[in-house]
């Protein structure tokens, strides 16, 4: 269950969030909980989450380890401060900052080399969904980037299906729509990397997940978890989403 804070909260607000949130999720020991604050708040978040069952992730990373790249942050720098995860290829980065399949792939490899766990996002825009192109868009995003990883590398990533039209809009994909896209992605993963790796791959759903719609989404066996923007900013709201985390079972019926 991952929270993407986008460009919200100061360091003091980050610490205050964890003071409330950590006790709320202390009993959810089966859940993998990840919070991704802005870069400048990562040290405060790592510090605040140190004795809690919460891991910290970044929202982006550069693909080289160091150099004259003003404004960028490398994967070894993130790992060195205790960051464990990184979101790569979020639709906001694709839309506003020129992220492409090529950069997604380079960033994913850099993150893996540094021991970080990438959450790689794919998803279609509204006009693509309306044109019936969801599968061709998500398939092309997968084929143009992640499909070039080695199996051993792919086995260490999580994916997020995030339909762009559902992000920050209040419009959630229905559980059936989300599950259909997840099923498609998993079959594409199976074609490239085999059934075992496909079955084990965590695929999160993201797009206006809230405490009142998470139950229906998590009831779909295809949906392993959620990537949550707005509703992860409030401790009580994200804690009530985390309640629906379940243990991942790799024996998926449709693959057996």
- Rank residues 22 and 209 by Cβ distance to ligand PEP and give the closer one: 209
Three-state DSSP state, 12: helix
Is 152 catalytic? The answer is: no
What is the number of the residue whose Cβ is closest to ligand PEP? 229
- Rank residues 95 and 249 by Cβ distance to ligand PEP and give the closer one: 95
Q: What tokens does 218 get?
A: 């998590």
Is 90 catalytic? The answer is: yes
**Distance between first and last Cα of the chain:** 26
Q: How many C-alpha atoms does 151 have within 13 Å on its Cβ side?
A: 10
Q: What is the helix (H) or strand (E) element at residue 4, kind and residue range?
A: strand 2-4
Residue 119 gets which letter from DSSP? E
CB of 80 to ligand PEP, least distance (A): 25
Which residues neighbour 116 within 8 Å (Cβ) at sequence distance 6 or greater?
A: 57, 61, 75, 78, 79, 83, 84, 85, 86
The residues binding ligand PEP (CB under 6 A) are: 4, 6, 162, 167-168, 206-209, 227-231
Active-site option among 55, 162, 182, 222: 162
Q: What tokens does 239 get?
A: 């804690």
- Rank residues 18 and 165 by Cβ distance to ligand PEP and give the closer one: 165
Phi, psi dihedrals of residue 152, rounded to the nearest 5°: -65, -35
Phi, psi dihedrals of residue 121, rounded to the nearest 5°: -95, 140
Hey, CA dihedral for 171, 1, 195, 118, is it positive or negative?
Answer: positive
Active-site option among 32, 55, 90, 128: 90
Which residues neighbour 148 within 8 Å (Cβ) at sequence distance 6 or greater?
A: 105
- Rank residues 4 and 141 by Cβ distance to ligand PEP and give the closer one: 4
With tokens 């709201």, the residue in question is 237
Q: Which residues are catalytic?
A: 90, 162
């Amino acid at each position: 269950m991952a929270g993407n804070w986008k460009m919200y909260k100061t360091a003091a607000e980050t610490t205050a969030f964890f003071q409330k949130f950590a006790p709320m999720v202390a009993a959810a020991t089966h859940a993998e909980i990840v919070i991704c604050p802005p870069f400048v708040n990562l040290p405060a978040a790592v510090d605040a989450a140190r004795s809690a069952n919460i891991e910290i992730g970044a929202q982006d990373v550069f693909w080289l380890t160091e150099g004259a790249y003003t404004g960028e942050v490398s994967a070894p720098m993130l790992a060195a401060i205790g960051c464990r995860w990184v979101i790569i290829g979020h639709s906001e980065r694709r839309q506003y900052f020129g992220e492409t399949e090529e950069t997604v792939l380079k960033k994913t490899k850099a993150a893996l080399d540094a021991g970080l766990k990438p959450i790689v996002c794919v998803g279609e825009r509204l006009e693509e969904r309306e044109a019936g192109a969801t599968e061709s868009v998500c398939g092309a995003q997968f084929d143009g980037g992640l499909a070039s990883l080695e199996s051993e590398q792919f086995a260490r990533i999580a994916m997020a299906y995030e339909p762009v039209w559902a992000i920050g809009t209040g419009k959630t994909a229905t559980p059936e729509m989300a599950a259909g896209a997840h099923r498609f992605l998993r079959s594409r993963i199976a074609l490239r990397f085999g059934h075992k790796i496909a079955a084990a791959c965590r695929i999160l759903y993201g797009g206006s997940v809230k405490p009142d719609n998470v139950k229906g989404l998590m009831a779909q066996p295809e949906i392993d978890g959620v990537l949550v923007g707005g509703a992860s900013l409030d401790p009580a709201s994200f804690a009530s989403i985390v309640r629906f985390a379940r243990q991942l079972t790799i024996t998926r019926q449709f693959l057996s």
